[in-house]
Amino acid sequence: LKVRSMLDISFPPKEEDTSNGVAPKLGVEASIEHELKYRVSANNTDARPVKLYQSVAWSVHDRLVDAFDQTQAYWKEKDPKHIYYLSAEFLMGRTLTNAVNNLDLGGEYAEALKKYGADLETVATGELDAALGNGGLGRLAACFLDSMASLDLPGWGYGIRYRYGMFKQGVKDGLQVELPDYWLDNGNPWEIRRPETQFKVGFYGSLEDGKWVPGEEVIAEAYDVPIPGYKTKTCGNLRLWDALAPEEFDLEAFNAGDYSKAVEQKRRADGITAVLYPNDATEEGKELRLKQQFFFVSASLQDTIARYLEQHKDLAGLPDKACFQMNDTHPTIAVAELMRLLIDEHGLSYDDAWAITTKCVAYTNHTVMPEALEKWPVRVLAKLLPRHMQLIEQINSNWLDSITGHVTAKVEAELAASDAEKQKKAAAAAEERKAALVAAEAKGEEALAAAKKVVSEEEAAEEKPADKATLVEEKLKTYSIIQENQWTKGEMLVNMAYLAVVGSFAVNGVAAIHSEIIKTDIFPHFVEIFPERFQNKTNGVTLRRWLAYCNPELSALITEALGTDEWVRDATLLAKLKPFAEDAAFRARWREVKQQKKKALAERIREQTGYQVSTEPMYDIHVKRIHEYKRQYMNAISLIHRYKVLKEMTPEQRAKAVPRVVVFGGKAASAYYMAKKIVALILSIGETVNNDPEIGDLLKVVFLPNYNVSEAELIIPAAEISQHISTAGTEASGTSNMKFALNGALIIGTLDGANIEIGENTGFENLFIFGVKADEINKLREDRKNFSDYDPRYTAALQMVSSGVFGRPEYFEDLVASITDMNRGNDWFLLANDFASYMDAQDAIDELYRDQEEWTRRSIIYTASNGFFSSDRTIDQYAREIWNVQPTPQP
């Protein structure tokens, strides 16, 4: 739908070597000057850092646009199959450094900036993070875009242009506070608004003669964010949708119509793209969230189909040109919307539409936590999207029909097995009863009567043969996309993950263990029907942002050792670093770099928290979203113990202790009660420990506020040990573990998520692995111990919390109860079970740190061993094994 009228201008014919705009014709230096003067209107002398950043960004923008236009024109001409990555979240962080370096213009910009007495690194800090994501899932999408472009794969990301991203976290009175993140405050040079690309998206309304008549309509307007590949001409695209009220473009109707109604419509439209939901592992079930999901999915599908139809007639060919990867269940409504578009808008039959849909759509699962698996009430769906609910019902009924034969056979087999068993049992019981009667008869009348009574009761209680039809019906329910709410009887829910599995041709988990767990625990009955659909694609991270650019010092050292910087493109080359681990001179230089990065982090800690930390102690980092399953709480308890031990030591003993700076970072969802208390506890421990003169540099506990992509880029290179200590079986993969490993931080972790594969690559002997295994969890949860059986160190530490050593004992009361009280959480994430082995691992860390040569040797081994976790490898696997999309580089 081209809703905006276009002036009738004819453009001059394109030049051969397209050069869009003025700037690229200017050199870098001249273009920065041009932007400073005309775009941001700051003359050289009073160019504040933000203005200088803006000018540099606009200068880079123009170069990006060139690469973008050329790539997109080339792909249009070649018409290769495209991958469309549908994601409600893209956690991009800052763009400048990445863009400049991927375009291979680092040297030129550095040179040009000398004139202003600035370096690129400092200028880059003028940019606000684009935090359009919660955590790992959103950041993964961002890494994938970088890899797709770098591998020359024709692909776009599709998402939402939230005006407010992930909240800014502040600390006030020892508690987390949430502040709005208006990231567009200084303008955004990285996006291109496309008023000419708009689509209508409907909501509510009714079905009239089988046709959906929406009760509300909004306009989706495109913004394109160019995604430069690494040292390639390819520049991909992230298309983000903004919502406009229809009246905004139809001024006449606006004037003629009801003014207040028009304002209300605008408000409602604005609401759709206003803010990112800050929940990373619980579902809110809010209608607005479903609206957001449908909004971006519908616009993206309409957009793709429109572009397809510009070049092709028959939609039957769509699967040869387009694949939609659904990042978790958030875009799963795509299954129904693609069906609707094909049937209602393009006149295909249901069966043809289904054949196309199930060849175009694939689904990635990121969680096994039940509270994070989306289930929308039928009531909500039917109201917001009546036609889609009808289609989902049809999809479900066809699906159940298609498996009734399978389920019946299964029930019959089970019945046959249990019948044989039952008959055997019944015969034995009958024998016993007969014998009992004979024995009773011998004892006389009274005994016989009593025995007869028992026998007839037993016979009455004997199991009746099961009814096959009922059993089939019961079993079918477990396969059904539409299910009854197990908590609220009578309420029906649409299980979005089931819809995704039924509608997709491929389903994948994000680490080897996780991909197994989804097969055995989440979708076992679907695996029976289509085992070939289930795959693993172990996550990865882009080595550009997460090693080359965030740690240029270490990168230079690696490049020098390998004699090439090709490892940035081909991460397997990192393996060649292994022999250098044995070289003492190299190790010394490796340590020097780490010291430098620790210094930068210490400076940041001082700025943000006021704490002065030395750069001599071990830097121990625990950063990620705050969640009970991630067990920052267990770390906090261990630190209380460490503090207690240090306090009890003699001065001689203290002189021998291994000092640590422990840094936490991470946001707690604003409504996540326990997570916020965990943040408060860490802050309180820091307050006590860091101000204890007896402790000094032996232990510092820092909570660095507002952990985000840019903070991570500073923190990760400084880490010596990093913590990934989730209860086994709960963390799907984790991706910061990969970033830390690549930057030479050692890992303390459980056998969970990608930790396992990192262990396989690095050698488990080089990690500090502890804790129970995923397959022991269920049993352990059943027989949780009494508080009195706990490790005495653990009990004593909790006692210190309860007795107020860290202040506010009442405030922490239910946090303590959540792991000690049978009726109040009952230690669901098994902190008590893992505590002792966690402490052993911590002791082993201290021991190894005393031997700096061995520690550094291992650090190098980590970097050398983990090239596998490049997202280039992950994306290459997706492209070959799921998407069937080919690299299409420009000559």
Active site amino acids: 366, 624-625, 630, 735, 739
Give the DSSP H or E segment for 41: none
| Shorter beta-carbon distance to ligand T68: residue 63 or 161 | 161
Among 735, 755, 761, 870, binds ligand T68 (CB under 6 A): 735
Which x/- pattern over 437-456 shows residues binding ligand T68 (rule: CB under 6 A)?
--------------------
* CB-based contact 501:361 (threshold 8 Å): no
| Shorter beta-carbon distance to ligand T68: residue 369 or 649 | 369
Q: Can residue 753 be called a binding residue for ligand T68 (CB under 6 A)?
A: yes
Tokens of 452: 């007869």
| Shorter beta-carbon distance to ligand T68: residue 134 or 743 | 134
Tokens of 252: 């006449």
Q: Which of 778, 796, 779, 800 is nearest to 787 (CA)?
A: 796
CB of 370 vs ligand T68, minimal distance in Å: 12
Which x/- pattern over 514-553 shows residues binding ligand T68 (rule: CB under 6 A)?
-------------------------x--------------
Query: CA 325, CA 328: separation in Å to the nearest integer?
Result: 9
Site for ligand T68 in 136-175 (CB under 6 A): 136-138, 140
The count of other CB atoms within 10 Å of the CB of residue 613 is 22
CB of 374 vs ligand T68, minimal distance in Å: 8
- CA end-to-end span of the chain: 34
For ligand T68, the nearest residue by Cβ is 136
Which part of the chain contacts ligand T68 (CB under 6 A), choosing from 167-175, 486-494, 732-740, 842-850? 732-740
Q: Can residue 734 be called a binding residue for ligand T68 (CB under 6 A)?
A: yes
Q: Can residue 732 be called a binding residue for ligand T68 (CB under 6 A)?
A: yes
CB of 735 vs ligand T68, minimal distance in Å: 5
Which part of the chain contacts ligand T68 (CB under 6 A), choosing from 423-431, 700-708, 730-738, 823-831? 730-738
Look-up: residue for tokens 């199959």? 81
| Shorter beta-carbon distance to ligand T68: residue 609 or 708 | 708
Which part of the chain contacts ligand T68 (CB under 6 A), choosing from 273-281, 355-363, 393-401, 631-639? 273-281
Q: Which of 422, 361, 466 is nearest to 85 (CA)?
A: 361
CA 430 to chain centre: 60
| Shorter beta-carbon distance to ligand T68: residue 581 or 675 | 675
Which part of the chain contacts ligand T68 (CB under 6 A), choosing from 32-40, 253-261, 490-498, 729-737? 729-737
| Shorter beta-carbon distance to ligand T68: residue 143 or 819 | 143
CB of 279 vs ligand T68, minimal distance in Å: 6
Q: Which of 96, 92, 212 is nearest to 159 (CA)?
A: 92
| Shorter beta-carbon distance to ligand T68: residue 279 or 304 | 279
160: CB partners within 8 A, 6+ apart: 88, 132, 240, 241, 273, 276, 292, 295, 296
Query: CA 573, CA 630: separation in Å to the nearest integer?
Result: 32
| Shorter beta-carbon distance to ligand T68: residue 281 or 381 | 281
Query: CA 583, CA 579: separation in Å to the nearest integer?
Result: 7
Tokens of 379: 């009531």
CB of 829 vs ligand T68, minimal distance in Å: 14
Q: Can residue 293 be called a binding residue for ligand T68 (CB under 6 A)?
A: no
CB of 655 vs ligand T68, minimal distance in Å: 41
* CB-based contact 338:352 (threshold 8 Å): no
Query: CA 182, CA 193: separation in Å to the nearest integer?
Result: 18
Q: Which of 724, 721, 704 is nearest to 712 (CA)?
A: 704
Q: Can residue 280 be called a binding residue for ligand T68 (CB under 6 A)?
A: yes
- Residue 725 to residues 199, 280, 683, 772, 842, Cα–Cα distance (Å): 45, 18, 20, 11, 12
Which x/- pattern over 71-110 shows residues binding ligand T68 (rule: CB under 6 A)?
----------------------------------------
453: CB partners within 8 A, 6+ apart: none
Among 733, 842, 874, 888, binds ligand T68 (CB under 6 A): 733
574: CB partners within 8 A, 6+ apart: 558, 567, 742, 863, 864, 865, 866, 867
CB of 204 vs ligand T68, minimal distance in Å: 24
| Shorter beta-carbon distance to ligand T68: residue 92 or 262 | 92
| Shorter beta-carbon distance to ligand T68: residue 254 or 664 | 664
Q: Can residue 366 be called a binding residue for ligand T68 (CB under 6 A)?
A: yes
Query: CA 652, CA 311: separation in Å to the nearest integer?
Result: 79
Judged by CB under 6 A, the number of residues near ligand T68 is 20
745: CB partners within 8 A, 6+ apart: 621, 716, 719, 720, 721, 722, 859, 862
In Å, the largest CA–CA distance within the chain is 118
Q: Can residue 70 be called a binding residue for ligand T68 (CB under 6 A)?
A: no
| Shorter beta-carbon distance to ligand T68: residue 657 or 777 | 777
Which x/- pattern over 496-515 shows residues binding ligand T68 (rule: CB under 6 A)?
--------------x-----
Burial environment of residue 612 by CB neighbours within 10 A (0 to 12, 13 to 18, 19 or more): exposed
CB of 505 vs ligand T68, minimal distance in Å: 20
Phi, psi for 116 (deg, rounded to 5): -100, 10
| Shorter beta-carbon distance to ligand T68: residue 234 or 750 | 750
CB of 282 vs ligand T68, minimal distance in Å: 8
CB of 881 vs ligand T68, minimal distance in Å: 17
Bridge partners, residue 506, by sequence = 362
Tell me how many degrees the CA angle 175-180-291 measures, rounded to the nearest 5: 115
Q: Can residue 757 be called a binding residue for ligand T68 (CB under 6 A)?
A: no
Q: What is the DSSP string of 563-578?
A: T-SGGGT-GGGGGGGG
8: CB partners within 8 A, 6+ apart: none
CB of 639 vs ligand T68, minimal distance in Å: 24
Q: Can residue 372 be called a binding residue for ligand T68 (CB under 6 A)?
A: yes
Which part of the chain contacts ligand T68 (CB under 6 A), choosing from 603-611, 728-736, 740-748, 781-789? 728-736
Which part of the chain contacts ligand T68 (CB under 6 A), choosing from 23-31, 277-285, 291-299, 316-324? 277-285
CB of 280 vs ligand T68, minimal distance in Å: 4
Query: CA 590, CA 594: separation in Å to the nearest integer?
Result: 6
SS (H, E, C) 107-145: HHHHHHHHHHCCCHHHHHCCCCCEEECCCHHHHHHHHHH
Q: Can residue 481 be called a binding residue for ligand T68 (CB under 6 A)?
A: no
Q: Is residue 527 helix, strand or coil?
A: helix
Q: Can residue 587 be called a binding residue for ligand T68 (CB under 6 A)?
A: no
Site for ligand T68 in 116-135 (CB under 6 A): 134-135
Among 87, 273, 279, 761, binds ligand T68 (CB under 6 A): 279
Q: What residue ranges bind ligand T68 (CB under 6 A)?
A: 134-138, 140, 279-281, 366-367, 372, 510, 539, 731-735, 753
